Chain A
Amino acid sequence: AQSVTQPDIHITVSEGASLELRCNYSYGATPYLFWYVQSPGQGLQLLLKYFSGDTLVQGIKGFEAEFKRSQSSFNLRKPSVHWSDAAEYFCIPGSSNTGKLIFGQGTTLQVKP
């Protein structure tokens, strides 16, 4: 079964600094991978997705992620973080068989002024 690991439980960055959230996956075949964000008091929002094709994926709110098979990673990046980016971020593998999303612990992003 496919699984992902987000090694960083909590990250703090300064506003305007660049951001990279790590996601490592374990799966034999090419996985479906998603990044979702859950902001305080708001619902979960899809940032971007990778199914196949171009390994650099552009998402909403200025986020991007790169699928690197050699490193088994799908890290989320943003060149300049805004205070409103403070939230919980989830890297999630999708299942082509069931359509389920199994959430892990996520990474909490704190943005300091």
Chain B
Amino acid sequence: GAVVSQHPSWVICKSGTSVKIECRSLDFQATTMFWYRQFPKQSLMLMATSNEGSKATYEQGVEKDKFLINHASLTLSTLTVTSAHPEDSSFYICSVSRGRGYEQYFGPGTRLTVT
């Protein structure tokens, strides 16, 4: 497998503030990174696909201005939740992949709580 880290592992922020979550691929250069969110007792929902050096591709219904994704290098992607609200509270998970047709390796997730 591959080692993927996320930072922070949990964060509490006040409504209206922004929060940045980092995802790092520690074992290989990830051509593609993905961001998911997961609500309690629910499955993962894909938010966006991010290729290094390109703009992220967002899934339908995901606000790109609210969830800013930056994939600056082959080992780092960041998700910024802007002007967070309580309904943004969720578990955010990233994954990395060598590209199309390859498996994904997942990070441990970040628990975001917006008060």
Chain A partners chain B? yes
A positions within 8 Å CB-CB of B = 32, 34, 36, 42-46, 49, 51, 90, 94-106
- Closest residue on chain A to residue B104 by CB atoms: A101
Q: B96-114: which residues lie under 8 A (CB-CB) from chain A?
A: 97, 99-109
B109 surroundings in chain A (CB, below 8 A): 43
Q: Is A99 within 8 A of B46, CB to CB?
A: no
B positions within 8 Å CB-CB of A = 1, 4, 32, 34, 36, 43-46, 49, 93, 95, 97, 99-109
Q: Is B100 within 8 A of A43, CB to CB?
A: no
B32 surroundings in chain A (CB, below 8 A): 99
B46 surroundings in chain A (CB, below 8 A): 100-103
Q: Which of B44, B99, B100 contacts A103 (CB 8 A)?
A: B44
Known contacts A43-B93, A43-B109: does B45 contact A49 (CB below 8 Å)?
no
Q: Is A51 within 8 A of B106, CB to CB?
A: no
- Closest residue on chain A to residue B59 by CB atoms: A100
Known contacts A42-B108, A45-B106, A104-B43: does B93 contact A99 (CB below 8 Å)?
no
In the assembled complex, the CB of B15 is this many whole angstroms from the nearest CB of chain A, namely: 27
- Closest residue on chain A to residue B98 by CB atoms: A99
In the assembled complex, the CB of B82 is this many whole angstroms from the nearest CB of chain A, namely: 24
- Closest residue on chain B to residue A108 by CB atoms: B41
A94 surroundings in chain B (CB, below 8 A): 101, 103
Q: Is A99 within 8 A of B99, CB to CB?
A: yes
Q: Is B93 within 8 A of A106, CB to CB?
A: no
In the assembled complex, the CB of A97 is this many whole angstroms from the nearest CB of chain B, namely: 6
Q: Is A43 within 8 A of B106, CB to CB?
A: yes
**Minimum-distance CB pairs A-B, first 3:** A44-B106, A99-B100, A43-B108
Q: Which of A36, A42, A99, A104 contacts B102 (CB 8 A)?
A: A99
A32 surroundings in chain B (CB, below 8 A): 101
A36 surroundings in chain B (CB, below 8 A): 106
- Closest residue on chain A to residue B36 by CB atoms: A103
A104 to B104, CA, bound (A): 16
A32 to B102, CA, bound (A): 9
